[in-house]
Chain A
Amino acid sequence: MSAEFRQGIRHGIPIALGYLSVSFAFGMKAASDGLTVLQAVLISMTNLTSAGQIAALPLMIGGASLAEMALTQLTINLRYALMSLSLSRKLDGSMGTLQRMIFAFANTDEIFAVASSQPGKVGKNYLYGLMITPWIGWSLGTLLGSAAGTLLPEFVRTALGIAIYGMFLAIILPPARKLGPVRFVVMIAVALSLCFHYIPGLNTVSPGFVIIICGVAAAAAGALLFPIREDAA
């Protein structure tokens, strides 16, 4: 085990702990929605993304078309394209095409944030170490949540239902506080989402398309009114 690999593992541990709790909530929700333990764990092992997986559950249960599922995932996970592009310039010579194909699988918000904050270029040993513990944490949490979630008392299970949304709020609010344009984009998206839930007629649109319409419209409005300068992002 190289020093870089161990360093990566060390940096991945706090991420893994956070993932453990959130994926526990995901596993619990998946099990109560009618997925088996194996199915819930398979989703986590192959997707490794919180928002995409949460959004996928109602679409699976509701029998959405595969096209709606694909478009929903595309919209929710589009941010990873930007992160992969950005990280691409930080990889050293040890990251050939095959290594990039392996590491790209684990380019989550948190892993991206840690990898980009390293000084200089990063190589395959560090990145493989960095991706392995969060992946284990995410899969293990899902296993525990889907298998043991139902053993928990009712009041603990209902309280855990809010965990994932707490995490979403922790992601969007700090930049919304600092940056007016982000605040504007979030408010537009929330306002549209409320319309799609409560206005008769609009509330018959399926959940995947609601996320797509709200997300694309709010982000496009933000990009038109507040384009980001070249040096940012």
Chain B
Amino acid sequence: MKWSVFLPYLAVTAGVTYLIRMLPMTVFRKEIKSRFVRSFLAYIPYAVLGAMTFPDVFYSTGDVRTAVCGVAVAVLLAWRGRSLLTVAVAACCAVALAQGFLMLV
């Protein structure tokens, strides 16, 4: 990507991400009073990650069939509370196996 296009994006992503982390730790050290705002902030990660995962995950491997296998394994292991690394690696292995199977049949 051209640097003249890339650098403004880099500055915005890094700047916004940093300010969100830095300001509450340095400037606004007060507790958030509003129950709604506190709840909203607590729920936001799950809402965002849910929306980012579906349906995109089904197109992440170039073949919906292999992606479905990966999702099934990831959901099963994540549901049982396995670590990030275990779930991510197992999902990749499931996709690789599914690809091998499809190549054979």
**A joins B in a complex:** yes
Residue of B nearest to A174 (CB): B81
In the complex, what's the smallest C-beta–C-beta distance from A230 to chain B, in angstroms?
Answer: 7
Q: Which of B35, B46, B96 meets A155, CB within 8 Å? A: B96
A190 touching B9 in the complex, CB below 8 Å, given contacts A105-B18, A107-B21, A159-B61: no
Contact B55 A75 (CB under 8 A): no
A167 touching B84 in the complex, CB below 8 Å, given contacts A43-B13, A161-B61: yes
Contact B25 A175 (CB under 8 A): no
B interface bracket (residues with beta carbon within 8 Å of A):
35 or more
In the complex, what's the smallest C-beta–C-beta distance from B16 to chain A, in angstroms?
Answer: 4
Given the complex, which residues of A lie within 8 Å of B17, measured CB to CB? 47-49, 52, 73, 77, 80
Give A162-208 interface residues, CB cut-off 8 Å to B: 162-177, 181-182, 185-190, 192-194, 197-198
Q: How far apart are the CA atoms of A92 and B57 in the complex, in Å?
A: 42
Residue of B28, B43, B79, B100 with most chain A CB atoms under a 10 A cut-off: B43
Q: Which of B22, B29, B42, B74 meets A162, CB within 8 Å? A: B74
Given the complex, which residues of B lie within 8 Å of A116, measured CB to CB? none
Given the complex, which residues of A lie within 8 Å of B28, measured CB to CB? 85
Contact A170 B20 (CB under 8 A): no
Enumerate chain A interface residues (CB-CB to B < 8 A). 17-18, 21-22, 34-36, 39, 42-43, 46-49, 51-56, 59-61, 63, 66, 69-70, 73-85, 87-89, 91, 97, 100-101, 103-105, 107, 109-110, 155-156, 158-177, 181-182, 185-190, 192-194, 197-198, 210-211, 214-220, 222-224, 226-228, 230, 232-233
Known: A159-B61, A162-B71. 6 other contacts (CB 8 A): A46-B14, A165-B70, A170-B84, A172-B53, A185-B46, A190-B53
- Enumerate the 5 nearest inter-chain pairs by beta-carbon distance, A residue then B residue, closest first: A166-B91, A214-B51, A223-B39, A218-B47, A46-B14
